[in-house]
Amino acid sequence: MTLRVIYAGTPEFAVPALRALATDPTIELVAVYTQPDRPSGRGQKLTPSPVKAVALELGLPVEQPITLRDESAQQTLAAYRPDLMVVAAYGLILPVAVLETPRLGAVNIHASLLPRWRGAAPIARAIEAGDTETGITIMQMAQGLDTGDMLLKRVEPIHPEDTAATLHDRLSQLGGEALMAALPGIVAGTLPAEVQNDDEACYAAKLAKAEGLIDWREPAEVLARRIRAFDPWPAAYTELAGAMLKIWSAACEDMTEGSAAEPGTVIAVDAAGFVVRTGAGALRVRTCQQAGGKRIAAADFARNRPLMGVRLG
């Protein structure tokens, strides 16, 4: 007997788990739910989500409701007679009526070790906070933001050079592996459900573009983490001669000169990039990008530019 599964996801993060489910002969993917197509690119052409693109490639039925709160959408979902709903970064709130429709309920693939980093941006917030590890939690979905019982966890280290992009790619693969490891226990009802300790919870707020603006008065260590956390979006940026300059890679630097300079001042330029005074310590910029340009080595950017002593921001 096959397990009738509805999959709900939208971005690249949700793709590996969908592909993993599609390869399991004991599973019938009866429908894939994803966000409606969005305008994208310079031409603002309507573009399917990464999950929709893969679902169509696999020949699976696709549903793209604007909301699941209305009765019509709920009746459509119920008509698929799902045994289980699997959710990964779907982007729509699931009302109780939907959560209770599948015989086995709904499980979520969450990119953190709950209850740490509930919410929309767990990967970036973990890097920004200086966490040394994160992971995947397979969670039974319930009302409330990522508050359901935890069924299975997989730990993933955060390396010193990790960006949100590199960590995202590893966690998305781990999400698919963790789901498939948890699935037999979910079906058999043998996985112990661990209640989350709300006292240990913290919230991963959605990223905002304005957060990318670098305040050079902050410590170098904080800025270095934020630059990695905001790659690829919203990107950390500063201002140079009235134009935006994105900073993609930087590291803390021992400061032997320029300690009296104002935060944001370029205090060294050499073959490895340029160094900026911060509120505490200095930051060596290694990769940057001008508006309309490509990411380039900071050393190349600094070549033939009078950066020494210039104030950024």
CA dihedral (289, 255, 272, 219) in degrees, to 10, reads -30
Q: What 8-state DSSP symbol labels residue 194?
A: B
Q: Is 112 annotated as a binding residue?
A: yes
Beta carbons within 10 angstroms of residue 251's beta carbon: 19
Q: Is 115 annotated as a binding residue?
A: yes
Q: Is 172 annotated as a binding residue?
A: no
Q: Is 50 annotated as a binding residue?
A: no
SS3 for 132? coil
Report the alpha-carbon distance of residue 309 to residue 258 in Å, rounded: 9
Task: Indicate the helix (H) or strand (E) that contains 204.
Answer: strand 203-204
Report the alpha-carbon distance of residue 7 to residue 48 in Å, rounded: 16
Burial class (CB within 10 angstroms; exposed 0-12, middle 13-18, buried 19+) of 7: buried
Which residues partner with 7 through β-bridges?
32, 86
Residue ranges at the known binding site:
112-115
Residue ranges at the known binding site for (6S)-5,6,7,8-tetrahydrofolate:
112-115
